[in-house]
């Protein structure tokens, strides 16, 4: 696949470097992660200066304060990024793990072992921290990384990728394993989505629109890290203190992230007992509530909810509230509006808990716990690749293991069929 | 997702029926498999008669004898299909298996359990046996199935699907879980590829062209069951009898299938010792050999190989032969031409065996065994979903487990972050 096309040539260099990375020892990969962390710490002035160019252009282009904040790299954020790279050193290397295997009746032994994908592609927007994140996770799992971080962060990403490449080279690895394709602009992003044979899996991170575009256009297999219209259902038997605590935490602990609750469903038989206090606590924490007719009848001051309310990932201190007739009605609402990320029930009823766990078709289904626990770190995976809302390959929080494929090793003594 | 569009309405009925199927007991699913087997046996005259219509149209359209043979269903083939459905009864049900789990420091327990995908789509060509195969495998793994079996087998598929639906209903399951969309023609196939939200995974089975179209056009996640340009490398140290036996079996045991060998690579230092006999045995078994210059110099009567030879999946008694300078040259040839299905080395050298296993990037990598062992049945999976040549989700022979996703169950006592 040699090519004079500069885009394909870059992808090919990544592919060849990744092939070498696939059989590198854990010790060497950990040394590279340490070198990346040190390079980021030593490179603070240079990175901050490049980042200032991106910020200046962002301000000129009139991008909002939220985007500017995501774009910003200062010394403390860079030190946190370096620390995150060092944390990956401590994680077990998935490459070479034996998943299963056995000896066949004819004496052949078969074993399924974890191997790197090859090259992981990532498309994201204005988050230069993701550049280091994905590169470090890809490296530890033996993969190359081709990064499209978006033009808004182009200067920052260019410096970060160069530092990462130099860090790889400093421990004797091929720096070409990590590449940015920002210089190829939007066309580069489109080409990356069709780069079968060069890129083995593509991970979009960002807005629902970005993810949807990648899913629609990509011929490279995609792992969808989706949005979360997350539901908490307070069942008839729910304990009052637990319901208040779980719902408030799920909504307000960090409202801008995908595992934050967006819709509160309350069983009709618990509405009178619990809804006024739930509404008071949520409102007191600054949450703007939009309710259906029944909840507005029992609680004053709620905005009117409509279909749009249930279908929106607010990512802010806003929440829909609906009183439902039954567990079945709660399940039906979830079936219709859920994005299959995380749903929780608060209940003291064993049978209802088990039914909810069995019937809700989401990546993570919870009983009596805050939806904020859907998180790689909380699950003990130690690193945040993203949260998959698709069913193929990975579902829910993704650890290093989800950045690997497998292959079968077959050892014989001349057996034939 | 209610719809008056007859195509989407059909997919929606499959989706709703599949949702019910997801929590059905193994006992009930096994009863359905028995009922399907019985219905096929009882339906032999009706199926054969419908099949005769397809065969007659196929002859009118002038399709070749190979295709006609694949299309043909007679009593003995139907009894074999029924027997295959009964064999699936004996396989373990993957649904509900706990993959891993633990208790977090805060007392929350998490467990990852296998769940059905939901609806499995399949696109295939003129093989009505696949209709029963996929429906039975989907059923056992708790999935619905939407089948596009192609217009050439439309009459056969229609009867088979109706019998399967009736068999499901006879044991109290919703027959709508299995659907054919043949009546929507090519447009139906195109729409199936874009039916995100209705179909959870799409499995193409058939020619390289069909698979490539599905991969390019589908927005539904695809499991690619690919073609096999399968290599056997005879190393310098290979045992003569073993090399002859493995190579001959790999090529001639069943040349029309994807795990049959297509290219023979021979180490330079073994060429003089082994190549003449290998060529004689293969030619004696009816194999037409095309060789590179070096092999043609040492063996008379070989056709001239070119780049096309190495890049072709012959699926017939044809084989490319190339003498390579070294293990590295063999690995480079495989890297360039392999379709990442199966490759084998024949060697007595431990280090070379381990290097080959580590460095060849294929679904199955073998030492001293016939490539014909890449097979779900041989691996002990008991059923043939296909052999995945992609790296996402499934790689190599796919069993029932590969027709499932997972979800995380989280059980707490009111924990918050």
Q: What is the predicted pLDDT for the residue at A3?
A: 59
Tokens matching residue B285 = 């078994």
Average pLDDT over residues B78-103: 94
Q: What is the predicted pLDDT for the residue at B206?
A: 81
Residue A167 pLDDT greater than 60, yes or no: yes
Give A396's contacts in chain B (Cβ within 8 Å).
112, 406-408
The DSSP element (H or E) to which B134 belongs, if any, is helix B128-140
- Distance in angstroms (rounded) separating the CA atoms of residues A365 and A371: 9
How far does the CA of residue B37 sit from the closest CA of chain A (Å)?
29
* pLDDT mean across residues, chain B: 95
Nearest Cα to B265, choosing from B245, B239, B294?
B294
Q: What is the predicted pLDDT for the residue at B313?
A: 93
- Of A56-70, A262-276, A315-329, B32-46, the range with the lowest mean pLDDT is A56-70
Average pLDDT over residues A51-58: 96
Average pLDDT over residues B222-233: 90
When CB atoms are compared, the residue of B219, B369, B396 closest to A215 is B219
Backbone angles phi, psi at B103, to 5 degrees: -105, 125
Residue A241 pLDDT greater than 80, yes or no: yes
Q: What is the predicted pLDDT for the residue at A5?
A: 94
Residue B1 pLDDT greater than 80, yes or no: no
- Give the pLDDT confidence of B234-266 residue by residue, as tens digits: 999 999 999 999 999 999 999 988 999 999 999
Reported as a pLDDT band with limits 50, 70 and 90, residue B4 is: confident
ipTM of the complex: 0.92
- Distance in angstroms (rounded) separating the CA atoms of residues A19 and A329: 52
> Quick one: how far is CA B4 from the chain centroid?
35
- Distance in angstroms (rounded) separating the CA atoms of residues A13 and A15: 5
B265 vs A133: which has the higher pLDDT: B265
Residue B3 pLDDT greater than 70, yes or no: no
Q: What is the predicted pLDDT for the residue at B224?
A: 86
pTM: 0.91
Q: What is the predicted pLDDT for the residue at B2?
A: 53
Judged by CB atoms closer than 8 Å, whether chains meet at B407 and A393 is answered as no
Backbone angles phi, psi at A216, to 5 degrees: -70, -40
When CB atoms are compared, the residue of A23, A365, A413 closest to B368 is A413
Q: What is the predicted pLDDT for the residue at A207?
A: 82
Nearest Cα to B53, choosing from B31, B38, B37, B73?
B73
The DSSP element (H or E) to which B245 belongs, if any, is helix B240-252
Give A112's contacts in chain B (Cβ within 8 Å).
396
Most confident of A83-92, A352-361, B201-210: A352-361
Give A104's contacts in chain B (Cβ within 8 Å).
378-380
Judged by CB atoms closer than 8 Å, whether chains meet at A253 and B221 is answered as no
Residue A131 pLDDT greater than 60, yes or no: yes
- Distance in angstroms (rounded) separating the CA atoms of residues A277 and B260: 69
Residue A202 pLDDT greater than 80, yes or no: yes
Beta pairing, strands A342-346 & A230-234:
parallel
How far does the CA of residue B40 sit from the closest CA of chain A (Å)?
30
Judged by CB atoms closer than 8 Å, whether chains meet at B379 and A110 is answered as yes
Nearest CA in chain B to A378: B104
- Give the pLDDT confidence of B48-86 residue by residue, as tens digits: 999 999 999 999 999 888 889 889 999 999 999 999 999
Residue A226 pLDDT greater than 80, yes or no: no
DSSP codes, B25-78: -HHHHHHHHHHHHHHHHHTHHHHHHHHHHHHHHHHHTT--HHHHHHH---HHHH
Give B405's contacts in chain A (Cβ within 8 Å).
391-392, 395
Question: Please, which residues have CB within 8 angstroms of residue B148's CB and are 6 or more apart in sequence?
Answer: B121, B122, B123, B124, B180, B181, B182, B188, B189, B192
How far does the CA of residue B13 sit from the closest CA of chain A (Å)?
15
**Which site among B96, B223, B358, B410 would you substitute to test the A interface, given the most A Cβ atoms closer than 10 Å to its Cβ?**
B410
- Of A64-73, A227-236, B132-141, B242-251, the range with the lowest mean pLDDT is A64-73
Residue A235 pLDDT greater than 90, yes or no: yes
Name the one residue in this structure whose structure tokens are 């056997």. Answer: B232
Give A372's contacts in chain B (Cβ within 8 Å).
416-417
Residue A1 pLDDT greater than 90, yes or no: no
Judged by CB atoms closer than 8 Å, whether chains meet at A361 and B115 is answered as yes
Give A249's contacts in chain B (Cβ within 8 Å).
416-417
Judged by CB atoms closer than 8 Å, whether chains meet at B412 and A363 is answered as no
Reported as a pLDDT band with limits 50, 70 and 90, residue A311 is: very high
Judged by CB atoms closer than 8 Å, whether chains meet at B368 and A201 is answered as no
Give B253's contacts in chain A (Cβ within 8 Å).
416-417
Q: What is the predicted pLDDT for the residue at A53?
A: 97
Give B414's contacts in chain A (Cβ within 8 Å).
239, 241-242, 245-246, 368-369
| CA dist B351 → A95, A171, B60, B224 (Å) | 20, 26, 58, 33
Judged by CB atoms closer than 8 Å, whether chains meet at B392 and A395 is answered as no
When CB atoms are compared, the residue of B365, B405, B415 closest to A369 is B415
Give A15's contacts in chain B (Cβ within 8 Å).
none
Q: Which domains does chain A have, with CATH numbers?
A: 6-226 (3.40.605.10), 230-373 (3.40.309.10)
How far does the CA of residue B153 sit from the closest CA of chain A (Å)?
29
Reported as a pLDDT band with limits 50, 70 and 90, residue A2 is: low
């Amino acid at each position: 696949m040699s090519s004079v096309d500069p885009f394909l040539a870059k992808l090919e260099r990544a592919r060849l470097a990744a092939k070498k990375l696939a059989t590198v020892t854990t010790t060497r990969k950990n040394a590279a992660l340490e070198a990346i962390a040190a390079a980021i710490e030593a490179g603070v002035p240079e990175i901050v200066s490049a980042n200032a160019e991106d910020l200046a252009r962002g301000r000129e282009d009139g991008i909002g304060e939220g985007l500017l904040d995501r774009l910003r790299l200062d010394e403390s954020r860079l030190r946190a990024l370096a620390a995150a790279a060092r944390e990956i050193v401590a994680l077990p290397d998935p490459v070479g793990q034996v998943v299963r295997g056995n000896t066949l009746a004819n004496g052949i032994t078969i074993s399924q072992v974890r191997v790197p994908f090859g090259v992981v592609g990532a498309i994201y927007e204005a988050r230069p921290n993701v550049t280091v994140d994905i590169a470090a996770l890809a490296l530890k799992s033996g993969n190359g990384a081709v990064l499209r971080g978006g033009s808004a962060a182009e200067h920052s990403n260019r410096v970060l990728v160069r530092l990462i490449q130099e860090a790889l080279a400093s421990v004797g690895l091929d720096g070409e394993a990590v590449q940015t394709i920002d210089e190829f602009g939007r066309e580069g992003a489109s080409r990356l989505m069709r780069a079968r044979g060069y890129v083995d899996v593509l991970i979009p991170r960002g807005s629902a629109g970005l993810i949807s575009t990648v899913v629609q256009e990509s011929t490279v297999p995609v792992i969808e890290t989706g949005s979360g219209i997350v539901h908490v259902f307070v069942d008839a038997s729910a304990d009052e203190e637990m319901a208040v605590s779980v719902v408030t935490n799920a909504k307000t602990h960090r409202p801008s992230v995908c595992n934050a609750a967006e819709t509160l469903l309350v069983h009709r038989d618990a509405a009178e007992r619990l809804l006024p206090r739930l509404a008071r606590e949520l409102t007191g924490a600054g949450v703007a509530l939009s309710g259906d007719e029944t909840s507005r009848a029992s609680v004053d001051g709620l905005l009117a909810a409509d279909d749009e309310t249930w279908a929106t990932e607010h990512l802010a201190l806003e929440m829909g509230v609906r009183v439902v007739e039954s567990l079945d009605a709660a399940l039906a609402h979830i079936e219709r509006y859920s994005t299959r990320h995380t749903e929780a029930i608060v209940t003291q009823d064993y049978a209802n808990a088990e039914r909810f766990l069995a019937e809700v078709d989401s990546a993570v289904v919870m009983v009596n716990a805050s939806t904020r626990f859907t998180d790689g770190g909380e699950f003990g995976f130690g690193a945040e690749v993203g949260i998959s809302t698709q069913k193929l390959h990975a579902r829910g929080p993704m650890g290093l293991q989800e950045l690997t494929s497998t292959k079968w090793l077959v050892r014989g003594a001349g057996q034939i069929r």
